[in-house]
Structure 1
């Protein structure tokens, strides 16, 4: 009877760890990569449509474009007027874009340095 209880508790603990890992990685990766770009150009949003196909909103200085992305080409679909863009959803957050990536690299380096000291 004890073996069944311990087996069930290990199974529940494993499922709980997998679920929490899924939630954590989903929330961590939510903003990463969307607001990456150079000084004058950024990809604001991207919607995958299938394998190797997507549409994206790109900002180039003060102009906004809807582009189609395929494996072999990128096509300009439309120019979007600035007043139609909801910029509130694209505000910089601690985990968005390259800044969030650098923060993650710092945390990872800090953890790995601490781990090396423990050995």
Structure 2
């Protein structure tokens, strides 16, 4: 009976310490994740392991394609195409707030089809 109780207490202790450790580790990773010069504004999933995203690098904006094995630059987006008033004076961290992503994607895919 004593050995069963000690195993139960040890198991609960291990689970609690694992929880505390992963929670503190996650906070540290989140703080180091954000950069000052580069930011993902929006991401649109297209399928399993495939997506398109708008990224800000300094004062330039890029439309990129993301696959499981590579990242491809699709187009450079003009700042005029981005409605900064709805996004806010300072662009949000974490990817929220790019309202006209579908229109922008359609514009650049149509332009690419005309070039071919």
TM-score with structure 1 setting the length: 0.50
Q: Which 4+ stretches in 1 moved above 6 angstroms?
A: none
Between the aligned partners of 2:54 and 2:32, the Cα distance in structure 1 is 15
Query: Comparing 28-37 with 9-18, which one deviates more in the overlay?
Result: 28-37
What stretches of structure 1 of length at least 5 have no aligned partner?
Answer: 91-119
TM-score with structure 2 setting the length: 0.51
Between the aligned partners of 2:21 and 2:44, the Cα distance in structure 1 is 24
Between the aligned partners of 1:56 and 1:45, the Cα distance in structure 2 is 6
Match of 1:84 in 2: 86
1:74 aligns with 2:70: no
| CA pair 47-29 structure 1, distance change in 2 beyond 3 A | farther
Q: Based on CA coordinates, which of the two structures has the bigger radius of gyration? A: 2
Q: CA RMSD in A?
A: 3.1
The 5 Å alignment of 1:1-119 reads 1-37=1-37, 42-45=38-41, 47=43, 49=45, 50-51=48-49, 53=51, 55-61=53-59, 65=61, 67-70=63-66, 71-76=70-75, 78=77, 79-86=81-88, 87=90, 89-90=92-93
Aligned residues: 84
- Tell me how far 1:59 sits from its aligned partner: 4.3
| CA pair 88-60 structure 1, distance change in 2 beyond 3 A | closer
Structure 1 residues 78-112: Cα deviation after superposition (integer angstroms, max 9, x where no partner):
5423223232744xxxxxxxxxxxxxxxxxxxxxx
